[in-house]
Structure 1
């Protein structure tokens, strides 16, 4: 068996998420990586990759590894508490990412902020803004969806969801674009530090908005709900509110922009009967969203975890601080996991649905992210029922996190 293993080519020859081949069709590389074994060492990232869903689900559920970016062996040194900036106070002092016990407590107390009623109320705030965006677009013969619509949706959604007053929008916009880079281990230290400073500026704005809202707690939005929880729960404080808002930004920025592009592309690239099925209701689209994500395989990296100490994990000896990546997207075209994986079916069953994580680490903003995308897709196909791709979009090699398009040119047949 050892002789056979020695004959295998290095995995980096078969799997390279930054290659043109991966950009055009990631499926062969994902399947090759998954077939190499349940846990694979990937030299270019100095990381272990967990490839199979039962192991990923167990890791998410039991949390043997750390989610704290500062536990990564190549992270900048964790600053002492007396030197923390706003960013460290939010991401360490009140961390949803690092402390499992505190994370579970916060999830429990904030669950009312993600109820169906709250999501419906937030939809009512976002919908007019989405309609206004399409009103401004008009009826062009063709347009770049990414530039005209997709790039604007994360900002619209997050500012209206949270309830950030218009006067702060210019300052908050940059952090919405770069926040997820604050903990991305694959980018340069310089780029990550710029994102961190943007985050510090955003936290100051959030603190100002919180102070204003305490004096006028009348708005029906995510922040108002969190402030009400703060009044009722002794262990939920302002630092937790800030962290929750940052988590919402993290869930709604990069992810939303990628999802906007792939939702349009997937619905136009496949049987058009899928469009009506996907947009039949918010619940129908929630499931369709998972199929869009599965069919598109837009992920490059997955979910990062770090060994909190020298330890044994899945039969391997992990050194303290080494990165371990959970890659659930490797299963997306595996016929042992999905029947007829090459077929795009928005009514496909997902059990469990792991698009937004699983168990204690399931993304708290998943329902909000799906709802704003449902609103946008509904408005798009209502305005342009004969919409089609004007060209096969060119992939953008520069994105640090996902397969995205340089532009997404659509033909409307309005002229």
Structure 2
């Protein structure tokens, strides 16, 4: 009966990420959208939505859709090469929007930069910053975690991971707030252009940093590892380095800021599971997948574009149309997860698709999880009796995620 009723309603009456109902609890909308079909036309976004995880994994695996923003039917014209700014040089033909062959080559040659040893070294490098930031909280009885910690940790830790000298931090920090907007198809042309200019300025800084590092090699950080890889692989160049670093600083910081909020919130809602979640980096890696599954932060998905007129999952998709892959629709589906409402940091994920799948699996996943693990371990070491200071109010203003306006916590420090 429910399915029959839903089938008579316009899809935008069942699914509206801007609605108060979605902000309160998006799960019914997730399920209603998935029930509508494997590929659903969503008029408000002028896009198709891919709703089922097996189809999304197949798309990731075979890459039959384009990830190039300029293939979108409403994108500005692709500029000719002699008119490229730094942004186009980084985004066209390099690591993020490369042709499939070059993308695979980049992943293969840079894999040593994401090894377990490198991630362990990065943890050692960023630990003093995390400890210092949390120690500066002193004996506060209550504080807003977003203001005091979450807004700072991603940029500090990722910049330290990369090896970006502190003297450049004030100049490049703006790109954290806007980098992912530079190719976001749902925002205004003016806002996207402002983000593009922020990225151009960030690239100029990265070029200076790379030149300085070439002149003074020897730093044991991510950038130095990439420069060594460049010297040994003629098909991997400076623009590949710039694109990877920009992605880590921009997209990495943007997504980890959301993850910081929901990680702490989820753990404080289930304090009995904190010891198991923080038992080791490996335990936290699995716990984090459960945190992001259980949380209800996602609003959009991964944008792809039809490179030609084609049939996708039985639907006629026109060249240039957007296809949004939404893996989060499965997260509270009882057909996909047993007791999806139950939070369990030891839940098994096979496969674990939180960071993508196949050739487009996020190469920085281990770095992101280690940064979060280190922050949570230090926070609960410093405040073992931490708890929520009331239920936080959600904020729906972000284009891509539900976040919190504040995340106030009580430290319950014994001052006797």
- Alignment correspondent of 1:336: 335
* Superposition deviation, residue 343 in structure 1: 0.5
- Alignment correspondent of 1:162: 162
Root-mean-square deviation (CA, aligned residues, Å) is: 1.2
- Alignment correspondent of 1:70: 70
Closer/same/farther in 2, CA of residues 5 and 318 from structure 1, 3 Å limit = farther
Distance 1:297 1:76 in 2: 33
Closer/same/farther in 2, CA of residues 340 and 209 from structure 1, 3 Å limit = same
Distance 1:171 1:127 in 2: 23
Closer/same/farther in 2, CA of residues 115 and 182 from structure 1, 3 Å limit = same
Runs of at least 5 residues in structure 1 that lack an aligned partner in the other structure: none
* Superposition deviation, residue 409 in structure 1: 0.5
Query: Given the two structures, how large is their TM-score scaled by the length of structure 2?
Result: 0.97
Deviations 1:305-330 (A, max 9, x none): 00011111111111111000110100
Matched, 1:298 2:300: no
* Superposition deviation, residue 95 in structure 1: 3.8
Matched, 1:58 2:58: yes
- Alignment correspondent of 2:278: 279
* Superposition deviation, residue 250 in structure 1: 3.9
Deviations 1:141-174 (A, max 9, x none): 0000000000001111121011011110100100
- Alignment correspondent of 2:373: 374
- Alignment correspondent of 1:317: 316
- Alignment correspondent of 2:30: 30
Equivalence map 1:67-146=2 (5 Å)? 67-146=67-146
Closer/same/farther in 2, CA of residues 6 and 181 from structure 1, 3 Å limit = closer
Distance 1:60 1:389 in 2: 38
Distance 2:98 2:187 in 1: 21
8 Å Cα contact 1:226-1:241 kept in structure 2: yes
Closer/same/farther in 2, CA of residues 232 and 250 from structure 1, 3 Å limit = same
Deviations 1:101-140 (A, max 9, x none): 1100000000000000110111111110000001211120
8 Å Cα contact 1:110-1:229 kept in structure 2: yes
Distance 1:316 1:119 in 2: 43
Runs of at least 4 residues of structure 1 off by over 2 A?
4-7, 95-98
Runs of at least 5 residues in structure 2 that lack an aligned partner in the other structure: none
Kindly tell me the number of residue pairs found equivalent between the two proteins.
411
* Superposition deviation, residue 228 in structure 1: 0.3
* Superposition deviation, residue 6 in structure 1: 9.8
Distance 1:212 1:7 in 2: 61
Distance 1:385 1:188 in 2: 45
Matched, 1:258 2:283: no
8 Å Cα contact 2:95-2:244 kept in structure 1: no
Distance 1:241 1:14 in 2: 43
Distance 2:352 2:171 in 1: 35
Distance 2:110 2:374 in 1: 24
Closer/same/farther in 2, CA of residues 6 and 13 from structure 1, 3 Å limit = closer
8 Å Cα contact 2:34-2:329 kept in structure 1: yes
**Partner of 1:245: helix, strand, or coil?**
helix
* Superposition deviation, residue 332 in structure 1: 0.5
